[in-house]
Structure 1
Amino acid sequence: MTASPPETRASLILRLQDAADITAWDEFAEIYAPVVYRSARRLGLQAADADDVVQEVLSAVARSVTEWVGRDDRGVFRAWLYRIARNTAIDFLTRRKHQPWADGGAEAVRHLQALEATEEVSSQFGMEVRREIFERASEMIRSKVSDTTWQAFHRTTVLGQSIEAVAAQLDVSPASIYIARSRVMKRLQIAVKSFEEISNDGL
């Protein structure tokens, strides 16, 4: 049985223009809401405020995605989303009631305001996106294979255990471990590519 990949590339981004398309928005939020939340926390916001940032970012995307799609200079979707998330978090930090909670206080706020969205600055956001993509893809594939097949992959590839040790633990042959691992890796590559095409696409 082949795992069905998620909606990919322009199709999902275009569907975000329809606020009533719950399936598209659920899929989008599944990946990006945790990324925006962790980014906001890293900038110094408390948990409740980071949750508010997530909601504001999703609302901003809903309001602006149609305009972004229509721009000739729109660039990469993930970069656009990063700018929205960063600006929203900074806005929270510069509000007087939030400043005492931000790590580094007013000095940190001034630093963030002056900071350009350089490759170095945005790389952490990109890493968070890739991490979330892998986790979501893993969850999807794990639900499609047997527990033995998943354990064969996870223990040898993620945990770094030897083929022989895992074969003994699972009471299967080493050849079965190789086959199971290869099967999961192929499915993961397809799923990860599908998710990455969403985040990297500029239409």
Structure 2
Amino acid sequence: MSGYDIVKTRETLIMALKQDDEKAWAVFYELYAPVIINFARKRGCPKELAEDVLQETTMVLMRYLKNFQYDRKKGRFKSLLFKITESKVIDAFRRAGKISRLRNSELFSKATSEDHARIITERENIWDNEWKTMILRESLQEAKKRVNSRVFKCFEEVYLKEKSVEEVAEQLKVSPNLLAQNKFRVMKIIVDTAKKMIHNLEKS
């Protein structure tokens, strides 16, 4: 079962995780492992440390979900996962001795409240970018499953590889009009899938 399959079901992913559903945890890793690892890497963690962040984030989430009561007003899963991941990145830095070096640095000692706000915003932006990448990746995979390979090839060559319509039409032996139709068909699936995932993953 893909990430898209489970987040579009009636039972939300977060409640399935709370029930310790194996498929849900498999989907969690499919969706969020790249987000967490890439975020940690961009925050400065080497590969091994980033993998530790993933494991520790998952363990904290497991403990948290045991007593979790769903309440839309208390915030989003996206924000919760960011806070846990960021705290585990800081823990990883602390173990590696990076926190003490930062605290003793001249830059850190002169940091203002505006500097701290900017740093937090930068970290949130990194997280948001990785989150968007995950949604795009899953949406592309969903589109690839729902159309035949030739239709997706039209989209891939024109939109992803940025080749000209004329070049791709000649390459695939299709008319420019059919090429445009195939591109639109795939794009619609991607957009619709992304909207549904955003609704289910960010609005819940």
8 A Cα contact 1:16 1:65, kept in partner: yes
Aligned to 1:106: 101
Equivalence for 1:134: 136
1:6 equivalent to 2:5? Answer yes
- TM-aligned CA deviation for residue 11 of structure 1: 1.5
Question: Could you tell which deviates more after superposition, 56-65 or 68-77?
Answer: 68-77
Structure 2 gaps of 5+ residues are none
- 1:39 is matched with 39
Q: Distance in 1 between matches of 2:77 and 2:18?
A: 14
Q: Which residue of 1 aligns with 2:17?
A: 16
Unaligned runs of 5+ in 1: none
Q: Give the aligned partner of residue 62 of structure 2.
A: 62
TM-score by length of 2: 0.81
Cα distance in 2, alignment partners of residues 148 and 108 from structure 1: 56
Output the amino acid matched with 2:187. Answer: M
Larger CA deviation: 174-183 vs 114-123:
114-123
Partner residue in 1 for 2:186 = 184
**Equivalent-residue separation in structure 2 for 1:187 and 1:105 (angstroms):** 49
Residue 139 of structure 1, CA deviation: 2.2
Verify: 1:90 aligned to 2:85, yes or no.
no
- Separation (CA, whole Å) in 2 of partners of 1:152 and 1:72: 41
In structure 1, distance between residues paired with 2:4 and 2:78: 20
Query: What residue identity is the alignment partner of 1:52?
Result: D
Query: By how many angstroms is 1:153 displaced?
Result: 0.7
Closer, same or farther: CA 5–38 of 1 in aligned 2, 3 Å: closer
> How many residue pairs get matched?
191
In structure 2, distance between residues paired with 1:27 and 1:108:
38
Displacement after TM superposition at 1:67 (Å)? 4.1
- Cα RMSD of the aligned pairs, angstroms, is 2.7
SS at match of 1:61: helix
Q: 1:71 to 1:142 in 2, by over 3 A?
A: closer
Question: How big is the shift at 1:70?
Answer: 4.1
Give TM-score scaled by structure 1 length. 0.81
Aligned 8 A contact 1:37 1:50 in 2: yes
Shift of 1:168: 0.8
CA distance in 2, matches of 1:109, 1:161: 52
Match of 1:161, SS state, is coil
Q: Say if 2:165 and 2:176, in contact at 8 Å, map to a contact too.
A: yes
Which of 1 and 2 has higher RCO (CA within 8 Å, sep 6+)?
A: 1
Post-superposition CA distance 1:118-168 (Å, at most 9, x none)? 444301101101112211221232233222211211222223222222111
- How far apart, CA to CA, are the structure 1 residues paired with 2:190 and 2:141? 10
- On the 8 A contact 2:94/2:100 being kept in 1, the answer is no
Return the offset for 1:86: 0.2
Aligned with 1:164 (options 162, 166, 189): 166
Determine what percentage of the aligned residue pairs are the same residue: 25
| Distance 1:54-1:188 versus aligned 2 partners, 3 A rule | same
Question: Is the alpha carbon distance of 1:53 and 1:198 closer, same or farther for their aligned partners in structure 2, counting shifts above 3 Å?
Answer: farther
